[in-house]
Amino acid sequence: MSDMIMSMKDDLMGLINPSAFTSDSIEGIAIILLFLFLVYEVSHKAIHFAGWLCGLIFMFQVGHWLSFTGLNRIVPLSMIFKYDVLTAVAQCFVGTKVCDGLLYANAFIRTVCSQMYNLLSGLPI
């Protein structure tokens, strides 16, 4: 049994090239570097897209809560920002910490938007 294993080891060792800088090894290194570059670029683009998506959701949420202030009489925000986006996203994660965090962020944005409008318009806070 050990003779068979040793012969397989010798056969496999014969297939290995001892030099590090052959055309095959340089081609392999180039392919690995290309693969790493592509993975980096795709992950970078995905993180960039996620940042834009969070900013867009935040903008929609601020517009939604500003539509409940007196600013809606000047600019028809209630026609543009009809939906409560954070609550809709929180419905996907009912009973989890993600839902609690999204609802907390929603309440925080609502409070900040209403107090900001009241402060700027001279109404009591």
Read off the pLDDT of residues 5-21 as tens digits, 9 standing for 90 and up: 888 888 877 777 666 66
Q: Are 62 and 116 in contact (CB under 8 A)?
A: no
Rounded to the nearest angstrom, the gap between the alpha carbon of residue 14 and the centroid of all alpha carbons in its chain is: 48
pLDDT band of 1, cuts 50, 70, 90: low
Distance from first CA to last CA of the chain, Å, rounded? 86
- Give this prediction's pTM: 0.65
**Rounded Cα distance, 86 and 65, in Å:** 11
Place of tokens 């028809």: 76
**Cα–Cα distance, 105 to 15 (Å, whole number):** 60
pLDDT in tens, 73-107: 888 888 888 888 889 999 999 999 999 999 999 99
Average pLDDT over residues 112-123: 86
Q: What is the mean pLDDT of residues 42-51?
A: 97
Report d(CA 33, CA 27) in Å as an integer: 10
Q: How many CB atoms lie within 10 A of CB 62?
A: 17
